[in-house]
Amino acid sequence: MMSIVAIVGRPNVGKSTFFNRLIQRREAITDAVSGVTRDRHYGKSDWNGKEFSLIDTGGYVKGSDDVFEAEIDKQVELAIDEADAIIFMVDVEAGLTGMDEEVATLLRKSKKPFFLAVNKVDSATRENDAVEFYSLGVEKYYTLSSINGSGTGELLDDLVKVL
């Protein structure tokens, strides 16, 4: 069975931008859980010769600044259930939010391997801004830019090791 990797995080952090950068082609949506299919996109990717399915979550708030906490929690719980590893994405431009803390708490409880991706680190000065995300209780985070692709390789190197 191919490993599954889910991308979670609050709206507008750049999950879909990252997803679209990684997938080669879109797969048919085959989620059996009623009511969630429209919220999720599936794709296939590979890194260092390892193939995996990638799930982009959270389409339900596309184009909106509203944060639907219960919806995000649901997506995180689903990801914990079905994924082998999780990419938890946050946004250095927006900074740390209460919702990020809530997602981190759910992920830590789950014991599922997760990788904290600090997105929108488009320039060197933003590297320094990322340090506040250590307060989410991680030993390591990965700074990256989904728009220009920098930093994504380091994250994927470590991610595929646990698949």
Chain residues that interact with ligand GDP, rule: CB under 6 A? 11-17, 58, 119-120, 122, 145-147
Q: Which does 40 bind (CB under 5 to 8 A by kind): Mg ion, ligand GDP, none?
A: none
How far apart are CB 58 and Mg ion at their closest, in Å?
5
How many whole angstroms separate alpha carbon 100 and alpha carbon 103? 5
Question: Based on CB atoms, which residue is closest to ligand GDP, 58 or 160?
Answer: 58
Q: Which of 146, 9, 140 is nearest to 72 (CA)?
A: 9
Does the footprint of Mg ion cover residue 16 (CB under 5 A)? yes
How many helices (H) and strands (E) are present in the chain, helices listed first? 5, 7
Question: Based on CB atoms, which residue is closest to ligand GDP, 58 or 80?
Answer: 58
* φ, ψ for residue 89, nearest 5 deg: -105, 135
Contact region with Mg ion (CB under 5 A), list: 15-23, 88-96, 118-126, 133-141: 15-23
How many whole angstroms separate alpha carbon 15 and alpha carbon 18? 5
What tokens does 54 get? 């990638």
Question: Based on CB atoms, which residue is closest to ligand GDP, 128 or 161?
Answer: 128
Question: Based on CB atoms, which residue is closest to ligand GDP, 50 or 99?
Answer: 99
3: β partners: 52
Residues that bind Mg ion (CB under 5 A): 15-16
